[in-house]
Structure 1
Amino acid sequence: MIGSWQGRQGARRGGGGADDGRRAIIDIGSNTVRLVIYGGSPRAPIILFNEKVAAQLGLGVTRNGSLADENIAMAMRALARFRLILDDWGVRDVEAVATAAVREAANRDRFLAEAGQIGIAARVLSGREEADLSAWGVAGAFPGADGIVADLGGGSLELVRLAADGPHAGLSLPLGTLRLAALKKRDAANYRAALATQLKKAEVAKAADLYLVGGTWRAMAVHAHAAAGRPRADPHGLTMTGAEARHFAAALAKAPVQRLSQEPRITAMRAASLPDAAVLLQVLLKRLEPQRLIFSSWGLREGVLYAALPPAIQAQDPLLAGTIAFGKQHGVTPVFAARVAGWTARATRAATSDQARLRQAAVTLALAAMQVEPNLRVQHAVNWALYKRWVAITEAERAMIAATICGNGATGDLPPAVLDRAPRDDLERGYAWGLAIRLWRRLGGGSTQSLEATRLVCEEGRLVLQVCAHHAALIGPATEKDLRLLAGRLGVTGGIEVVPDDTFAAPGTASPPQPERSGLTAASSPLLR
């Protein structure tokens, strides 16, 4: 039997946070039954397999309070397939959860028994548990998040206050997308007023940030990106001001379903629910008056995983955890990436602590890109930066990482997809980080020894590459060219110094072994002084 929630929670808590363990969530919702298999870092899991079946269990519950036979059959067919996939993959850390449709169905016991016969023990979440787990998902994706989480499913809308210490006062309202359609069908003229009446019953305090969780909200974010000319952008983390959100919701509420269904990344089922959900969003915005609207792709499923992590792993930076795991897949260790980032930092400083963590992530991706075929690596790595599902990162920060990758490739110009995402000064800083990585990488072929035998510093308007005498032979035309490129980008002059071999040795330690000198002199390199 798989899917024992309590048992698997205990197993994960004792697992020590290994980053190679696969775990899976079966989410039995009102619209879809979905299997997601996760891998990678526990703090920043990546999706290895994701499949959903539109069983629409909530249709029968909306009509007469019971799950319809045909919907049960479709769900069981999906669960049987999912069970076989999990067995074939060898995934044992599995949780199966059921939400509003099963929770409210008069024949829920029959459904759970049939699932049990397949070998899946589903835990039926209460409305409060569902709200809390969705909020934990947001907390995992947005460290320090403080606001209201609105999780819109097929059968219900969960609202919960999220603070630094976790979720508070979660509640569930019968306003899922299937019920919105039924409510509008009964009385279209008073649809908006009926929603407002329902929300007045919700004792939820106003907050500056409103986080939207659920497939329909994600489809809204996809639509918003497409309308802004960014059809490939990740919907996760899309942020609007309160005024922008009100304008967006008003336009979407009037949008023809047929036109929405023609958008490549929006399914027909989601397209049909978007205008009704936009009206709900209008009512929510009026009721809660948020200053910002933030779309989260992390929700209930990720909340189940995050809530079970030990506090030490929860406290990790999810961007760095994700890029570290990705780097390892491409032969880049976190210690090596940190050393390269430190080498560049003396000359191309980060403006803020947030930019320091971005530099670490950017260096990891830039080094990982070196494993890609040369004529493909820059475009591949820019796509990683702009479109891969990273968390705890803004669009502008994605662009800075992409600019670093371009600098590492010395592309000269930045692509339009990067230019329109961040302030020019930030992009210039990111590009300079990349040029510094390129200088080190080409100086010594990316060796650890070249990190130990060289320093790059920028002081009093001069960028200086210092090279220990026993490694002076590394200096060549390519080094001089790369240093000039970086100095020009920083608006300073550049120079190279050959320094004594023990210059960089820690106090009390012996200087590195000294191979035969190369005979390089100031006369042989115009940048030497």
Structure 2
Amino acid sequence: MRRTGAASPIAIIDIGSNSVRLVVYDGLSRSPAQLFNEKVLCGLGRGVLTTGQLAEDAVAKALKALAWFRILCDAMQVNRVHVLATAAARDAANGPEFIAEAERILGRKIELLSGRREAQLSAYGVLCGFHHADGVVGDMGGGSLELVDVVGNSVTEGMTTKLGGLALQDMTGGSIKKAAKIIREGLANAGPLDALRGRNFYAVGGTWRSLATLHMAQRAYPLHVMHGYSMPAKDALEFSKLLERTDTETLGSIDSVSEARRPLLSYGALLLDEIIRRGRPSAVVVSALGVREGFLYELLTEEERRVDPLLAGASELNRLMSRNSAHAAELVAWTGRLTTSLHLDETPEERRQREAVCLLSDLAWRTHPDYRAEQSLSQIAHSSITGVDHAGRAFIALSVFFRYQGLSLEGARSNLRELVTPRMLNRARILGGMLRIAYLISAAMPGILPRAPLVGSGSRLVLTLSPELEALSNDRLTTRVKQLARVLGREPVIVTKMG
């Protein structure tokens, strides 16, 4: 489904050292949604460092993929197509010849990214997908590794190295021992790692995503969403060492990794091992957004970049899928007033999560009533929203689940509960209880909630209905107010006139 009032679609073709990929987005925005995503693993960077040339078979495969992508862009009527090329085309002697033929096939100019430019765009990709990012971005491709420091909305000048997976494989003849030495020497003077201690390392690139996929499977992780997946540095280090010394084909979950990626896993593990030892981050956080999304982020205005990515994405889903998008704004204000009156000590992060819950709380209205709780839980937990960690994602999903399922913990047996703290689970129940009252009296339409405030007053939970809304007071409403009051430890009161 296209966004309401969306601009024309925009596509990026990324000619990388390992893969050639087409991603079509439904427009330029703070929270870009993908209409289409396809890749071909061509291995353009294989052998470049040892032969200085792009291999003929890899070139043929890449050019065929580009011809396919042009047909798809034409079929989707995508007029804005940006084509980016990275390390392989940059480093090979026959790179210019390949670029010229690729431009002829696509009918468009190709931007050949320098290493520093690639690092900058990778960093922008992380800024696009995380709220107040703080750490070092590492983008591991087939031909290179880029490192750059990010804080908030600022990016420092990054660096590039020849430590890509295919490059390491070529330089070492497949020797892990030699690769370890090259990596250690290559990162010895990596300036961005000097400032990494105690911060996040943002891992970008297919090889590290594959490594994280295996890590998820090994621990039976309950949420299969790659973006924002976080591994404590110690766990990531231990898992990297396991991959270094283990035949990855023996891992039970190896089928989740493409065969073309598997030979590069050991190099990705070696790199991550050395980065953790050298930089001592607090956690390794996976970013599914990189150069492509960074390129789009760069096209935004400064004002657009400052928009919260979580709330931008949730707002788009609200406009597309709720019964009346204007209702969410009233719901945010209504739940905010109650939160303040209850003295729940809401942190800035908790506030933005509550706002996201309000925006996403009506997505499942078309679903059969018996399945709305489970549908909304899955839909939100597995959505493409960004700007939130996995615990926050689970909290948002559970809050809407409680809206439909009721406030009993017995009914909330979802394994997503493993991702939230007791405080978050209690807040999800409270917010779910607020939603159950709000939707019952408003029918998801604007105009009612401002005339029916719900507040905490001393030991009481008081719902005040304006005179014209007196008929809303019934047994069903009383039951729901009682349910929320019980969770809060307060006395329920419904006042049917303005006090």
Compute the TM-score of the two structures, normalised by the length of structure 2. 0.92
**Aligned counterpart in structure 1 of residue 359 of structure 2, from 361, 364, 384:** 364
Q: Please state whether the residue corresponding to 2:387 is helix, strand or coil.
A: coil
Q: Please state whether the residue corresponding to 1:146 is helix, strand or coil.
A: strand
Residue in 1 that maps onto 2:62:
75
Contact 1:135–1:299 (CA<8 Å) still a contact in 2?
yes
**Aligned counterpart in structure 2 of residue 376 of structure 1, from 371, 374, 377:** 371
Consecutive aligned runs of 4 or more in structure 1 exceeding 4 Å deviation: none
- 2:151 counterpart of 1:163: yes
Q: CA deviation at 1:301?
A: 0.6
**Aligned counterpart in structure 2 of residue 240 of structure 1, from 213, 231, 239:** 231
Residue in 1 that maps onto 2:195:
206
- 2:441 counterpart of 1:443: yes
Q: CA deviation at 1:332?
A: 5.2
1:101-154: CA deviation from partner (whole Å, max 9, x where unpaired): 000111112111211221132111011111111011112222332322110001
Residue in 2 that maps onto 1:471:
469
Q: Please state whether the residue corresponding to 1:343 is helix, strand or coil.
A: helix
Residue in 2 that maps onto 1:116:
103
Q: Please state whether the residue corresponding to 2:384 is helix, strand or coil.
A: coil
Q: CA deviation at 1:446?
A: 2.9
Residue in 2 that maps onto 1:50:
37
Tell me the distance in 2 between the aligned counterparts of 1:436 and 1:172: 50
1:42-71: CA deviation from partner (whole Å, max 9, x where unpaired): 101111110001111111414411112211
1:211-263: CA deviation from partner (whole Å, max 9, x where unpaired): 11111111122222222212642121122333222222222222322134854
Contact 2:324–2:445 (CA<8 Å) still a contact in 1?
no
Name the aligned partner's letter for residue 87 of structure 1. Answer: D
Residue in 2 that maps onto 1:308:
299
**Aligned counterpart in structure 2 of residue 319 of structure 1, from 310, 321, 331:** 310
- 2:87 counterpart of 1:100: yes
**Aligned counterpart in structure 2 of residue 339 of structure 1, from 327, 330, 333:** 330
Name the aligned partner's letter for residue 137 of structure 1. Answer: G
Residue in 2 that maps onto 1:521:
none
Tell me the distance in 1 between the aligned counterparts of 2:374 and 2:155: 40
Residue in 2 that maps onto 1:229:
220
Q: CA deviation at 1:289?
A: 2.0
Residue in 1 that maps onto 2:17:
30
Residue in 2 that maps onto 1:174:
162
**Aligned counterpart in structure 1 of residue 250 of structure 2, from 259, 275, 281:** 259
Residue in 2 that maps onto 1:126:
114
Contact 1:127–1:171 (CA<8 Å) still a contact in 2?
yes
Residue in 1 that maps onto 2:347:
352
Q: CA deviation at 1:186?
A: 5.7
Tell me the distance in 2 between the aligned counterparts of 1:380 and 1:342: 26
**Aligned counterpart in structure 2 of residue 39 of structure 1, from 19, 22, 26:** 26
Contact 1:222–1:231 (CA<8 Å) still a contact in 2?
no
Tell me the distance in 2 between the aligned counterparts of 1:343 and 1:138: 33
1:468-501: CA deviation from partner (whole Å, max 9, x where unpaired): 122111111111111111111112110111114x
Tell me the distance in 2 between the aligned counterparts of 1:56 and 1:219: 16
1:268-309: CA deviation from partner (whole Å, max 9, x where unpaired): 222221122101211111222222222111111111000111
Tell me the distance in 2 between the aligned counterparts of 1:394 and 1:187: 37
Residue in 2 that maps onto 1:394:
389
- 446-455 or 107-116, which moves further after superposition? 446-455
Distance 1:41 1:415, change over 3 A: farther
Tell me the distance in 2 between the aligned counterparts of 1:272 and 1:185: 12
Residue in 1 that maps onto 2:184:
196
- 2:46 counterpart of 1:59: yes
1:69-124: CA deviation from partner (whole Å, max 9, x where unpaired): 21111111111111111111111121100000000111112111211221132111
Tell me the distance in 2 between the aligned counterparts of 1:260 and 1:183: 27
Contact 2:248–2:254 (CA<8 Å) still a contact in 1?
no
Q: CA deviation at 1:348?
A: 3.8
Name the aligned partner's letter for residue 93 of structure 2. Answer: A
- 2:129 counterpart of 1:141: yes
Contact 2:218–2:253 (CA<8 Å) still a contact in 1?
no
Distance 1:253 1:60, change over 3 A: closer
**Aligned counterpart in structure 1 of residue 282 of structure 2, from 249, 267, 291:** 291
- 2:72 counterpart of 1:85: yes
Tell me the distance in 1 between the aligned counterparts of 2:473 and 2:152: 51
Tell me the distance in 2 between the aligned counterparts of 1:186 and 1:72: 22
Residue in 2 that maps onto 1:508:
none
Q: CA deviation at 1:41?
A: 6.6
1:314-356: CA deviation from partner (whole Å, max 9, x where unpaired): 0000000001001111135554202012222333456212211
Q: Please state whether the residue corresponding to 2:156 is helix, strand or coil.
A: strand
Compute the TM-score of the two structures, normalised by the length of structure 1. 0.87
Distance 1:414 1:41, change over 3 A: farther
Structure-to-structure mapping, 1:272-287, within 5 angstroms: 272-287=263-278
Q: CA deviation at 1:414?
A: 1.6
Contact 2:126–2:133 (CA<8 Å) still a contact in 1?
yes
Tell me the distance in 2 between the aligned counterparts of 1:326 and 1:114: 40
Name the aligned partner's letter for residue 113 of structure 1. Answer: A
Q: Please state whether the residue corresponding to 1:388 is helix, strand or coil.
A: coil
Structure 2 gaps of 5+ residues are none
Contact 1:206–1:289 (CA<8 Å) still a contact in 2?
no
Name the aligned partner's letter for residue 101 of structure 2. Answer: E
Residue in 2 that maps onto 1:7:
none
Residue in 1 that maps onto 2:8:
21
Residue in 2 that maps onto 1:518:
none
Name the aligned partner's letter for residue 492 of structure 1. Answer: R
1:345-404: CA deviation from partner (whole Å, max 9, x where unpaired): 333456212211111111121112223332332212111332222211112211211221
Tell me the distance in 1 between the aligned counterparts of 2:5 and 2:448: 32
Tell me the distance in 1 between the aligned counterparts of 2:212 and 2:304: 29
Tell me the distance in 1 between the aligned counterparts of 2:277 and 2:125: 25
Tell me the distance in 1 between the aligned counterparts of 2:21 and 2:34: 13
Tell me the distance in 2 between the aligned counterparts of 1:188 and 1:317: 42
Distance 1:375 1:272, change over 3 A: farther
Tell me the distance in 1 between the aligned counterparts of 2:9 and 2:368: 29
Tell me the distance in 1 between the aligned counterparts of 2:251 and 2:93: 35
Q: How many aligned residue pairs are there?
A: 485
Tell me the distance in 1 between the aligned counterparts of 2:100 and 2:28: 34
Name the aligned partner's letter for residue 206 of structure 1. Answer: A
Distance 1:332 1:156, change over 3 A: farther
Tell me the distance in 2 between the aligned counterparts of 1:59 and 1:81: 22
